[in-house]
Amino acid sequence: MDWVIYIIVFASSVAISVTPATGMIYYVRTSKNITIYPHDIPLDAEKIIINSTGIDHVDYIEAFPNLTSYQIKDNMISTFPDLSNVSATLVELVVSGTLIESIALNAVATMPALKQLDIGFNRLTQLPDLTAVFPALGTLNVNCNKLVSMGQTSATTLCMDGNKMTALPDLSNVLDTFLSLNISNNNITSLQEGAIPLMPRCYYLNLNNNKLSTFPDLTNLIGLISLDLSSNQIRTIPNLPPLSLLATFKLNRNNLTAFPNLVSIADSLLRLYIDENDIVDFPDELLVPLSRLRSLSMGRRDGGAIYLPNFCLIRPTNPPLSLTFAEGSMIHCDLNALYAKLAQQTGSIQISSTVLCASPAHLVGRNFDDLTTDDLWPKQTGNMQRIFTKLSTRWACPMSVKLPVPVRQRAGCAVLCLQQPGCLMFSYVTNWCVTTNISSLMNMVDIEQHPDWYIMST
């Protein structure tokens, strides 16, 4: 039977020889100055773990012909361990949570089989070209160091979270194969045209919590699936290139004042995070085309109120569209809020967080979730700020018949609203005057083709 042997090293004041705890796991308790000998540890050991022992250096590692994983984490060592005797077989190497400030390549043995290298949570300020010593490296984690520069690498998955980088690393060795870059929590201020090279297979880019004030040029990331630009200082979003695979887009905690035009990614976008910006209005014409959207986060960072889009123009999906509001968010409980309630009741949307009404006066402070459609129905008098949107075949909310309700008066003409099953209908003579008699139109069947029929959008 093939056994995988784990050697787990703990701190102790005296050296104790290897003792089998079970048939497969061996524990080694040793003094701070660790010296590991073959006669202490079975030669067929495949994994050595030295975690949180307080040791300040590792003297020497003898040859273990089957060793594939070596981990030394959360210790006090200040130099990279000598792994020359096990370098040929190592596939995974973890040296993290130490006092190491630099890596001298002449002291690092070539590891031709190494696939994963984790040197995070150290004190590195720069990283040399690692391709010579780790030619097969696939995943490199250097997060939470003090890196300001980095040499070339063969890694196709790179995590650089929590450093001091001001530009992207040099990925010229792996442009055709590179897959994933996390460079969040750094000091990048801009990525102008050409700053991101063509990487057709890159599916993940995380630039969260940098200092970007302009939207980066993403033209070369044609395979992007997930993009995180949250917690930056971006003010506007240009028309995006056709990123036909982009499914997750994080724009929350920026300085956006208007909802962006995302039509170019409408066929792929599933999750959009745009809360904690300064966006007040969510126009129907920009949100409705996002027909595959399954998750949307909204809400201003200052807690100010927002105007909802007309969720009855969004066809029901399975699963339904999930709405999340930033903590402390408020909405204007106007007619679009009524539509949101109808969409919620029919299962077109789900609201997973608390949101309060900021208007009208009689609903201020009320929890939207506690309101009924009758609570949200417009009063007999009112002055809607925005009124008409052409009737659309997208309308998806069934509605019960109600009596005509005057919702706006202008130039002596009352706007009368009549609810029919499936739509709200209006007829008007001029742009500012709506007829008061619509009883003769009750039997209209093909509403879509009548040029003067509209539904109220707010």
Residue 451 domain-assigned (yes or no): yes
- Which residues face 359 on adjacent strands? 332
- Name the residue range of residue 393's domain: 388-456
CA-to-CA separations, 273 to 5, 226, 253, 293, in angstroms, rounded: 45, 12, 9, 11
8 A C-beta contact, residue 275 and residue 326: yes
| pLDDT value at 419 more than 70 | no
Q: Which residues are within 8 A (CB) of 407 and not within 5 positions of it... i.e. 6 or more apart?
A: 335, 378, 382, 384, 387, 415, 417, 456
Question: What was the pLDDT predicted at 313?
Answer: 80
More confident call, 273 vs 50: 273
Residue 396 confidence (pLDDT): 66
Convert the pLDDT of each residue in 97-111 to its tens digit.
Answer: 999 999 988 878 899
- Higher-pLDDT residue of 5, 156: 156
Note whether residue 1 is domain-resident. Answer: no
First to last CA, the chain: 71
Q: Output the six-digit token pair for 170.
A: 């040099």
- CA–CA–CA angle 78, 122, 8 (5° rounding): 75
Burial class (CB in 10 A: 0-12, 13-18, 19+), 25: middle
**Residue 429 within any structural domain of the chain:** yes
Mean pLDDT, the chain, as a whole number? Answer: 79
Total domains present in the chain = 1
Pairing of strands 69-73, 92-96: parallel
SS3 assignment, position 204: strand
Contact 205, 215 (CB under 8 A): no
Instruction: Rank 54-58, 169-173, 312-316 by mean pLDDT and report only the highest.
Output: 169-173
Residue 116 lies in a domain: no
Give per-residue pLDDT as tens, 4-25.
Answer: 444 444 443 333 334 443 333 4
pLDDT of 40 strictly over 90 = no
Q: Yes or no: say if 159 and 140 are a contact pair by the CB < 8 Å rule.
A: yes
Residue 46 domain-assigned (yes or no): no
- Work out the pLDDT band at 3, boundaries 50, 70, 90: very low
Strand partners, 415: 408
- Is 21 or 320 the better-scoring residue by pLDDT? 320
3-state secondary structure of 18: coil
Model confidence band, residue 334 (pLDDT cutoffs 50, 70, 90): confident
Q: Is residue 288 part of a domain?
A: no
Residue 30, token pair as written in the block: 């040793």
Decide if 19 is inside a domain: no
Segment of 64-68, 141-145, 306-310 carrying the highest mean pLDDT: 141-145
pLDDT of residue 445: 35
Q: Which two tokens stand for residue 282?
A: 């969510």
320 domain-assigned: no
